[in-house]
Amino acid sequence: MFLVHVAVAALTGWWLYRGERAVWLMLRLWARASLSALRWVFAVFHPPISPVRRPVPTAEPEVFADREIATAVSRRAPPAAVLAS
């Protein structure tokens, strides 16, 4: 009886593995076909869009090393309400 259960469990596992692999194969094939159809429809009804080319700045970026930050907020202390009590 034990050997029959082990054999049936192995057969069921093999069957489920093959069935799951077949389902994923069908889903991949369906997705590939539908995406290629959507690409074709998009290519037919929409003209290709050329990318916007912006000129690259030739000047060096401005360095802010010598400027001080006027509105710096220091939050490394307890809140003011805790200090007041």
**Residue 16: per-residue pLDDT:** 82
Residue 84 phi, psi (nearest 5): -70, -25
CA distance 32 to 30: 5
Q: What is the pTM of this model?
A: 0.36
* 17 vs 19: CA distance, rounded Å: 5
Concatenating the DSSP letter of every residue in 15-82 gives: HHHHHHHHHHHHHHHHHHHHHHHHHHHHHHHSPPPPPPPPPPP-SPPPP-SSPPPTT-----S--HHH
Note the pLDDT tens digit of each residue in 27-58: 898 888 888 888 888 777 777 778 888 887 77
